[in-house]
Amino acid sequence: MEDLIKKITETAGVNEEQAAKAIEAVVQFIKEKLPPMMHGVVDNFLSSNQQTEDDGLF
């Protein structure tokens, strides 16, 4: 998640605390739209350290 925080701070011009709060708001919004059984998928995606094009996700 550190990479995402860094990206947001650079792109939006906010500090790390603001970026982290923004991410949390987005995560909560997404989880509200998904069934509870999918919440772990969101958490796992955000906590993974390495996501590359080789993973087939992008």
pLDDT at 46 (0 to 100):
87
pLDDT in tens, 21-49: 999 999 999 999 999 999 999 999 988 75
C-alpha–C-alpha distance, residues 3 and 58, integer Å: 16
- Indicate whether 53 pLDDT > 50: no
Tokens 């996700």 sit on residue: 57
Tokens 């998928």 sit on residue: 41
Tokens 């919004």 sit on residue: 29
